[in-house]
Amino acid sequence: MTYAGLAAARESNRQLAEIIPSVSGDQWELPSACAGWRVIDVLAHLGALAYETVRPPEPDPTWPKIRERYHDMRVNERRGWSHAEVITEWQDYAPKQLAIQEACQEAAVASEPVVVPGLGTYPRHLMANITAFNVFCHLRFDILAPEGPLPFAVSEPTDELVAPAVEFMLAGLPQMQGPELDATVTVPLVLVLTGPGAVTATVLPPEGPAGHLTVLPGSHGLTRIRTTAVDFIAWSTKRKSWRDFCRISGAADAATPFLDCLNII
């Protein structure tokens, strides 16, 4: 179970909720660090995710297959809304989203597979970690300075906030890009994530021509990629360049294609 993911999602939501009353109308319109989205659009995205958790839509074959474009579609649907309408949707549905994700921790349903279109399949209990990742990442890297435009401060990242986000990211890493990323892993690559949320995991090459890469806990190779867990959230989502944050030991030429390709959504 991932009650830690639920606690992290609640705390990041609390931090976002505390900031909202201080944001002026002009500040909502500022470009965020998420390309193409204003600050209000980032909140619209989080509100849309919360809404769809509570009221799952019927699948539509015309929707974009690429997950990022799907998110753009949902944000675009809300571009005509007032700031108050966007804020209200998030404020109304985020607590309901967390209540559903709390119920997902129950043993009877926790291990059920859930397909997230464009992102892969996850045990139901990990849905809370996805929310923990989304809110942490968008709040700290897209909305707030220094990367984003809003000059508000939140507490320093902690193990409790970062580790659940990284847990989802490592679960998603083998699934989100498929053969594109598989082809870049030719030797075991050890990710050594330090600081808050510290963890070590190894990305293993696919086995056989139809195989896919896998991620195992611990160190199982000679090529090591060292970075902080917080920086991992930034560069593995393409918000920053991995070259500014990673130290590679071992076969750097084997790690570089993987690092260039990796894009966790």
pLDDT tens by residue, 61-82? 888 888 889 999 999 999 999 9
Helix (H, G, I), strand (E, B) or coil at 206: coil
- Residues 6 or more apart whose CB falls under 8 angstroms from that of 264 comprise 169, 172, 173, 176, 236, 237
- Indicate the pLDDT class of residue 1, thresholds 50, 70 and 90: very low
Cα dihedral 135, 137, 138, 140, rounded to 10, equals 110
SS3 percent helix, strand, coil of the chain, rounded to 5, is 50, 15, 35
- Residues 6 or more apart whose CB falls under 8 angstroms from that of 141 comprise 33, 147, 148, 233, 234, 237, 239
Architecture in CATH of 3-165: Up-down Bundle (1.20)
Mean pLDDT of the residues in the chain: 95
Other CB atoms within a 10 A radius of the CB of residue 152 amount to: 15
* Angle in degrees, 0-180, between the axes of helices 39-54 and 83-103, rounded to the nearest 10: 40
Q: Let me know how long the chain is.
A: 265
State residue 2's pLDDT score. 66
Superfamily of domain 179-261 in the CATH hierarchy: SCP2 sterol-binding domain (3.30.1050.10)
* Angle in degrees, 0-180, between the axes of helices 83-103 and 127-137, rounded to the nearest 10: 150
pLDDT tens by residue, 220-238? 999 999 999 999 999 999 9
* Angle in degrees, 0-180, between the axes of helices 127-137 and 3-19, rounded to the nearest 10: 30
pLDDT tens by residue, 38-65? 999 999 999 999 999 999 988 888 888 8
- Residues 6 or more apart whose CB falls under 8 angstroms from that of 259 comprise 225, 242, 246
State residue 106's pLDDT score. 93
Burial of 127 (0-12, 13-18, 19+ CB in 10 A): buried
Instruction: Write the DSSP symbol of residue 219.
Output: -
pLDDT tens by residue, 161-211? 999 999 999 999 999 988 999 999 999 999 999 999 999 999 999 987 768
**Structure-token pair, residue 59:** 């699948």
- Residue range(s) occupied by CATH 3.30.1050.10 in the chain: 179-261
- Residue range(s) occupied by CATH 1.20.120.450 in the chain: 3-165
